[in-house]
């Protein structure tokens, strides 16, 4: 038998897309309506409550859930978080991360990164997370159609499609704003396409050279302060970064270097739950020793504050570890 534990999970609610599907699959539309009204009361009380049967309030609920998910997924992508099992029963309408048993943080940058043992086809790979979120929201929308138009649910399809079709553009806008912050770009640029290309080319450098995602952003902050050595140490020898850095410096030329570096360090963590350290903590806890877990937790409470004595918590896992690393629902 495996050792176990009793945990208490606290969240804004535990209502998931799958909760709506449970009642909709049984055509229990009164319960779907009751659930939707409760969700509005709990999470979105600003939505008109004058009439519990007002169809527009259910469109508004879908809009709010969609916007929360766009913000959540953008934040996942910006820090390299891979949920691992994004089925509809694991998507909370509150916009909080939930049921992430087989999650992991990406180390070497790879859009195709997958760690979950139950995701052999890569459905929930890092790069696919925005599209999967949109797919889940589509399933939520399906359950709301009879509430939006009781007489002709199919007639409500164009209304929900407008919301669903806006999900990816809204996500991309939030993600780009986050990436601009991570690059230390102080003022919104009139050249949005130029900023997009700057971000795209930066990520391509990380991908081509298998650079640690977290450290790359953090050491770029050091480069803003004039310290290029730590950044260059992450890449093969040569002038690989020269052209890109020249473009980045041109974009930030009107900014204070120290302010730029400080701002970048405030959004680019130095410490993440590195997978080998999580496994180390799990193994020790299984033997009754919670010290590694407690130490890791203490470090992660202040992920943006670099401390020289904690360098092991910022060190990537050995390549041989990551090559065979898998996560499980019990992780």
Would you please indicate which residues are annotated as catalytic (active-site) residues? 89
Rounded Cα–Cα distance for residues 98 and 195 (Å)? 32
Rounded Cα–Cα distance for residues 296 and 272 (Å)? 9
What sections of 209-274 are H helices per DSSP?
A: 213-224, 229-232, 242-251, 257-265
Residues 6+ away with beta carbon under 8 Å from 79: 105, 214, 269, 272
Nearest Cα neighbor of 144 from 129, 125, 163, 118 is 163
Contact of 221 with 268, CB cutoff 8 Å: yes
State both tokens at 15: 């209502």
Question: In angstroms, what is the C-alpha Rg of the chain?
Answer: 22
**Residue linked to tokens 């990520």:** 203
Contact of 138 with 244, CB cutoff 8 Å: no
Rounded Cα–Cα distance for residues 103 and 78 (Å)? 15
State both tokens at 270: 């130095």
What sections of 101-228 are H helices per DSSP?
A: 129-148, 157-165, 167-182, 192-208, 213-224
Rounded Cα–Cα distance for residues 326 and 113 (Å)? 11
In a 3-state reduction of DSSP, which class is residue 212?
A: strand
């Amino acid at each position: 038998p495996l050792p176990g534990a009793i945990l208490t999970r606290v969240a804004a609610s535990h209502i998931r897309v799958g909760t709506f599907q449970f009642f909709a699959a049984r055509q229990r539309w009164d319960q779907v309506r009751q659930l939707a009204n409760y969700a509005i009361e709990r999470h979105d009380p600003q939505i008109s409550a004058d009439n519990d049967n007002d169809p527009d309030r259910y469109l508004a609920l879908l809009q709010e859930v969609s916007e929360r998910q766009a913000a959540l997924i953008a934040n996942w992508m910006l820090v390299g978080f891979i949920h691992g099992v994004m089925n509809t029963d694991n998507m909370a309408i509150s916009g909080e991360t939930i049921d992430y048993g087989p999650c992991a943080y990406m180390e070497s940058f790879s859009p195709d990164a997958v760690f979950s043992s139950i995701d052999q086809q890569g459905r929930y790979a890092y790069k696919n997370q925005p599209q999967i979120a949109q797919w889940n929201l589509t399933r939520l929308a399906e359950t709301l159609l009879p509430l939006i138009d009781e007489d002709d649910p199919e007639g409500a399809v164009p209304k929900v499609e407008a919301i669903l079709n806006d999900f990816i553009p809204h996500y991309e806008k939030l993600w780009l704003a986050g990436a601009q912050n991570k690059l230390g770009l102080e003022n919104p640029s009139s050249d949005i396409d130029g900023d997009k290309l700057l971000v795209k080319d930066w990520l391509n450098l990380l991908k081509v050279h298998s650079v640690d995602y977290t450290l790359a952003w953090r050491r770029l902050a050091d480069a803003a302060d004039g310290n290029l050595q730590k950044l260059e140490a992450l890449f093969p020898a040569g002038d690989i970064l020269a052209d890109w850095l020249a473009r980045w410096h041109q974009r930030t030329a009107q900014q204070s270097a120290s302010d730029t570096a400080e701002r970048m360090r405030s959004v680019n963590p130095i410490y993440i739950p590195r997978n080998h350290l999580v496994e180390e903590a799990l193994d020790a806890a299984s033997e009754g020793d919670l010290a590694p877990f407690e130490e890791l937790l203490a470090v992660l409470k202040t992920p943006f504050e670099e401390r020289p004595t904690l360098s092991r918590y910022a060190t990537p896992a050995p390549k041989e570890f990551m090559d065979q690393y898998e996560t499980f629902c019990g992780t």
